[in-house]
């Protein structure tokens, strides 16, 4: 079901900003990088209504490697629920190294099926199958399915990119260095400007 399928290949970073001494400054880069959704549970900003309920997640916790605190390659975008569940756990697979689609499958009843040992770790650590997570996920799936059948416009609103796309080319976003300027030129804001942004994703 659209929106509930994990990526079939490891995430390849499109952006390479560096040099901020404050990791919060990478927020818009991470929103664009991970298409405005939680890397662990796939929940979207649009489904919460605000990006403020999403966190910047340190894959290797700062308690283990303080130097990774502002290292872009160590930062992920995750919903508050998943970020709190992961805390300082080091054993979950990295979505930039492992295809989560090989590890996890979301069933039509809202439960997440672990397909291998990495998937089991993700389910256990992130509590993807807690009663509240299954209930929440299942409700969204049923609602989106109903909208897809009866109100395509509203369905499209829930499955579209957020309206407040960050323009990573803006001078205010200028980072001390950026190893992937082509990613900036192709940020979702720029795609919308060119008229190439898909209606849904």
Per CB under 5 A, residues contacting Zn ion are 38, 40-41, 79, 82
Element (H, E) at 31: helix 27-33
CB of 195 to Zn ion, least distance (A): 31
How far apart CA 168 and CA 192 sit, in angstroms, is 13
CB atoms within 10 A of CB 124: 15
Closest to Zn ion by CB, 133 vs 184, is 133
Closest to Zn ion by CB, 16 vs 95, is 95
CB of 190 to Zn ion, least distance (A): 27
Closest to Zn ion by CB, 104 vs 168, is 104
Task: Give me 126's structure tokens.
Answer: 């992130």
Task: Give me 177's structure tokens.
Answer: 């260095």
What is the C-alpha radius of gyration for the chain, rounded to an integer number of angstroms?
17
Strands 54-58 and 17-18 come out as: unpaired
CB of 112 to Zn ion, least distance (A): 11
Closest to Zn ion by CB, 26 vs 100, is 100
CB of 102 to Zn ion, least distance (A): 19
CB of 80 to Zn ion, least distance (A): 8
Distance of CA 118 to the CA centre of its chain: 18
Closest to Zn ion by CB, 77 vs 189, is 77
How far apart CA 162 and CA 77 sit, in angstroms, is 15
């Amino acid at each position: 079901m659209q929106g509930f399928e994990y990526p079939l290949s490891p995430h390849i970073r499109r952006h390479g900003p560096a040099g901020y001494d404050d990791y919060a400054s990478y927020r818009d880069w991470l929103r664009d990088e991970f298409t405005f959704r939680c890397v662990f549970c796939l929940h979207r900003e649009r489904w919460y209504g605000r990006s403020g309920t999403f966190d910047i997640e340190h894959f290797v916790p700062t308690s283990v490697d303080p130097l990774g605190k502002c290292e872009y390659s160590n930062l992920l975008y995750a919903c508050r629920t998943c970020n709190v569940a992961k805390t300082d756990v080091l054993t979950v697979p990295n979505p930039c190294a492992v295809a989560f689609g090989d590890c996890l499958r979301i069933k039509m009843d809202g439960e997440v099926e672990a397909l291998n040992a990495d998937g089991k770790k993700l389910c256990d650590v992130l509590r993807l199958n807690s009663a509240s997570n299954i209930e929440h996920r299942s409700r969204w799936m049923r609602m989106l399915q109903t909208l897809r059948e009866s109100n395509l416009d509203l369905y499209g609103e829930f499955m579209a990119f957020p309206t407040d796309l960050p323009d990573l080319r803006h001078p205010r976003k200028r980072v001390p260095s950026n190893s992937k300027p082509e990613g900036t030129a192709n940020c979702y804001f720029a795609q919308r400007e060119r008229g190439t942004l898909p209606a849904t994703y």
